[in-house]
Amino acid sequence: MLQTTLVMRGFLARIRNEYVRGSLGVRDVADKLQESRLRWYGHVKRRPPDYVGNLALQLSVPGRRSRGRPKTRWRDVVSKDMKECQVSENDVVSIERSGEEKLGKLTPPPSRDSRPVQRQIAQRRAELRQVLVAEWRQRLLRPTAGLATVEAIRPVLDDWLGRRHGSLSFRVTQVLSGHGCFGKYLCRIGREPDARCHHCVHGGEDTAQHTFVQCVAWEEQRRVLTNEVGGDLSLPAVVRKMVGSAESWDAVVSFCEDVMSQKEAAEREREISTADPARSRRSGRRRRADNALFRPP
């Protein structure tokens, strides 16, 4: 999302194509066509003089041409390309023969005006990132949903965005947001009659924090997690540990994947065995209609 927004802001800021190509390491299509012409010219010149390509290059049409400017010939374009690239006919033939991929020999050096300035690109990208992060920070000061998640991530927002490790999976997002196979969330959208936990004898309210800290069904997974991130399993503490090291991030991902996959399997079993049509598993058009009906506020 951040990368897409930066690209759109760059477009609105009217950044030249030369700068975009320079930052992505992509050459201009005109340069590629020029290289292709010169390579083909070198290939033709290496052939015997009686080769049809060489005969066509030396072909002269008899008669008088019509009035006006002469039409540009392919040979004229190749001559112009060699002049721009500052190479001779022998250079083109030798490069084509050796099969070298040295683009600088076949394409003209970029002018001072068109050469992408990497420092300016990096500076502009940093400025756009700062503006975007500032906007996000202002929006996070007045959240309308996901209050617990916002309160956990907002203090470490810069570290979260600047981290070099870890990626969010579907199940990790469920645990961080509380929107998943948790009794409280399923009850809120009408998929469960109550918010109790089906996995522990206490039958307490099933939330993401309950799954992290209290549910006795996940004691083994919780032990492995606490060995890495420590005993504080509150959401802000877990998020701080995640952005602090790749090992902690991987430990949280492993816990979420293991636990949530089992909770999802148990939820599917309850959907199959229930007689309540509001809780039964649907497919196709009926399922899409239910998803629209039970979309969280």
Please name the residue that has the structure tokens 């309850």.
Answer: 270
How many domains, the chain?
Answer: 1
- Our CA angle for 135, 139, 144, nearest 5°, is 160
Residue 11 falls within a domain, yes or no?
no
Residue 194 falls within a domain, yes or no?
yes
Residue 280 falls within a domain, yes or no?
yes
* The pLDDT value given to residue 95: 66
Residue 262 falls within a domain, yes or no?
yes
Q: What are phi and psi of 148, to 5 degrees?
A: -65, -40
Residue 234 falls within a domain, yes or no?
yes
How does pLDDT run along the chain (297 residues), one tens digit per residue?
Answer: 444 454 455 455 566 666 666 666 667 788 888 888 888 888 888 888 888 888 888 777 788 878 888 888 888 888 888 888 888 877 777 765 555 444 444 444 444 444 455 677 777 788 888 888 888 888 888 888 888 888 999 899 888 888 889 888 899 999 999 998 898 998 888 888 888 898 887 768 899 999 888 888 899 999 999 999 988 989 999 999 999 999 999 999 999 999 999 999 888 888 887 766 555 555 556 556 655 654 554
Question: What residue numbers bound the domain in which 186 lies?
Answer: 147-293
Total-model pTM = 0.56
Dist CA 218 CA 183 (whole Å): 16
Distance of CA 154 to the CA centre of its chain: 23
